[in-house]
Amino acid sequence: MTDPLVVELSRLQFAATAMYHFLFVPLTLGLSILVATMESVYVMTGRPIWRKAVLFWGTLFGINFAVGVSTGIVMEFQFGMNWSYYSHYVGDVFGAPLAIEGLMAFFLEATFIGLFFFGWDRLRPVAHLTVTWLMALGANFSALWILIANGWMQNPVGATFNPDTMRMEVTDFMAVLFNPVAQAKFVHTVSAGYVTGAVFVLAISAFYLLRGRHVEMAKRSMVVAASFGLAAALSVVVLGDESGYVATEHQKMKIAAMEAMYETEPAPAALTLFAIPGADGRPTYEVKLPYVLGLITTRSIDRDLPGITELTERAAGRIVNGIKAYTALEAIKADRNDAVARAEFAANQADLGYGLLLKKYRPDVENATGEEITLAALDTVPDVWPLFWSFRLMVGIGFFFIAFFALWFWKASRHTLTSSPLLLRIGLWALPLPWLAAEAGWLIAEYGRQPWVVEGVLPTFYAASGLHVWDLIISLAFFVTVYTVLAIVMVWLMLRVVRHGPAEQTALDHPPVPATAFPEPAE
């Protein structure tokens, strides 16, 4: 068993580096599509103002992308570095989408981003536009595969435990691929990325309009951002609702915790708008909307939603089965040909993960006491209040953005983008909101899955590498230092680019000239 402090520090490091990485991902997703859209307009109209916009937003895209790549490589390696038992236990399933992400997405994205920046004077406009779209496609494919991997952690389908290799192995790859949780998460996450890109473009354009600078480019960018943003904001909320529906099927505890719903909510379940935690952690003062939760989560008005108390009791039952699976597995390890133990294991293997929850209390799971089973069952309840409030923050921002983009879309179609400085200021100050919502969303997805790293299959504390506390202190100090410096430098550079504005004239504005026409810079 791994030192509990090492587990906690490993969790802290993974959460911090993942959330930091996800500051850059949504902007890459959204801005890549927006830049490609603007370049399409440029190629269709041939008007240099659009190329100016593409070059300007492309520069910001490039700075963001560089930090995204830097922090993304860290994520790929950390599974093995800090979660080696996880890597062994589920690598047969989880590794495949990561490798396919490399083959299908990273190569595409990384190969064409070079040409996006360096191909301007070497490619014809249509060829360059194709390059830009392929780069954007690569970025979005990457989200697909990583969310198939993450979707499997939420809803581990298409795999079964093999007692001979002591790990989960793929039995049905199509089930992993078309996992409904993964599909719902993919569309929800990329839409959130598109909202982020649209807010970014809109906010900086609003800044220029407030200052009366680069007005032509800012107005055009704003029109693109407003229409794209409205579609994306609608899609985030609708598909987020799909996520909620799917989660009800597969992660009832997460839904109950998000809703701070201790007792089973009889049909039709009401949605809690607001609540205050009491002394025992349970909600005391609640404002509820009747019917709504039942409609969102079960798409019906006649199904109960199980509460935390009931789900904990169900977990205790599964832990008892898990002990049977664990005991049978021990017998198989002692005698590989023990057919009785294999049959007993096969009957209970779905609950093996619940048996492993007891490893926190004793190494010999087969001898667990009733009290330990109760404690382990209580461990299946995630931290209710951070989830409750993160969910409300995320949804609130989601609905705000529908109104926000609807308004800007309306103003764009009326050609009154600059009519109200107050609205422009709101447009500018909305800038941090999509990131807040995205981080809150990931907090719900990952923190809400605790104590599991793979829902119902592998407890988080059991999955960590057996590192020393000093290893973690060194790596944490490293990440805190490097990432802080990166954040400061990146924000400073972006502000510099924004203050400087788009290049008024570039070498591209002139027809290609022989290289000798340019003077050598002095050395």
Partner 1 sequence: MSALPLDYETLRLIWWALLGTLLIGFAIMGGMDLGIGALLPFVARNDAERRVLLNLSGPTWEGNQVWLVLGGGAIFAAWPAIYAASFSGFYIAMIAILLALILRPVGFKFRSKVDNPTWRSVWDWGLFIGGFVPSLVFGVAVGNLFLGAPFRLDDTLRVSYEGNFFGLLTPFALLAGLVSLSMLLTQGATVIAARTQGPMAERARTYGRWAALATLVLFILGGVVALTMLGGYSISSAIDTGGPSNPLGKTVVITTGGWASNYSAMPWTLAAPALALLGSLLAYVALTARAHVLGILSSSLAILGIIATAGLSLFPFLMPSSIDPASSLTVWDASSSQLTLFIMLGVTLLFLPIILLYTTWVFRVMRGPVTTTSLNRNPNAY
For partner 1, the binding residues in 316-345 under the rule CB under 8 A are: 333
The smaller minimum CB distance to partner 1, of residues 78 and 155, is found at 78
Query: Closest approach of Cβ 39 to partner 1, in Å?
Result: 14
What minimum distance in Å lies between the beta carbon of 459 and partner 1?
A: 13
CA-nearest of 7, 10, 77, 68 to 475 is 10
Q: Choose the binding region for partner 1 from 29-37, 204-212, 383-391, 485-493 (rule: CB under 8 A).
A: 485-493
CB atoms within 10 A of CB 414: 9
In the numeric block, which tokens belong to residue 304?
A: 């109960």
Taking CB under 8 A as the criterion, the residue among 19, 102, 215, 267 binding partner 1 is: 102
User: Least distance in Å: CB of 209 to partner 1?
Assistant: 24
Which of 14, 22, 57, 106 touches partner 1 (CB under 8 A)?
106
Q: Which of 46, 76, 289, 313 binds partner 1 (CB under 8 A)?
A: 76
The footprint of partner 1 on residues 155-174 (CB under 8 A) is 162, 164-167, 169-171, 173
Residue 19 is a binding residue for partner 1 (CB under 8 A) = no
Do the beta carbons of residue 389 and residue 443 sit within 8 Å? no
How are beta strands 167-170 and 452-454 bridged, if at all? unpaired
- At its nearest, how many Å lie between partner 1 and the CB of residue 462? 9
As a 3-state breakdown, the chain gives helix, strand, coil percent values, each rounded to 5, of 75, 5, 20
Q: Quick one: which segment of 253-261, 276-284, 446-454, 512-520 binds partner 1 (CB under 8 A)? A: 512-520
Site string for partner 1, 265-294 (x = CB under 8 A): ------------------------------
CA distance linking residue 256 with residue 247, whole number of Å: 10
> Pattern 25-64, binding to partner 1, x per CB under 8 A?
------------------------------x--xx--xx-
- Scanning 203-211, 234-242, 389-397, 492-500 for contacts with partner 1 by CB under 8 A, the matching segment is 492-500
Closest to partner 1 by CB, 128 vs 252, is 128
**Dihedral sign of CA atoms 297, 298, 304, 305 in order:** negative
Q: 211: which residues sit within 8 A by CB, 6+ positions away? A: none
Nearest to 243 by CA among 182, 158, 307, 178: 182
d(CA 270, CA 282): 17
Nearest CA-CA partner of 219 in 63, 64, 60, 52: 52
**CB under 8 A: which stretch of 36-44, 105-113, 381-389, 392-400 binds partner 1?**
105-113
Do the beta carbons of residue 258 and residue 388 sit within 8 Å? yes
Q: Pick from 242, 338, 366, 471: which binds partner 1 (CB under 8 A)?
A: 471
How many angstroms separate the CA atoms of 515 and 523, rounded? 18
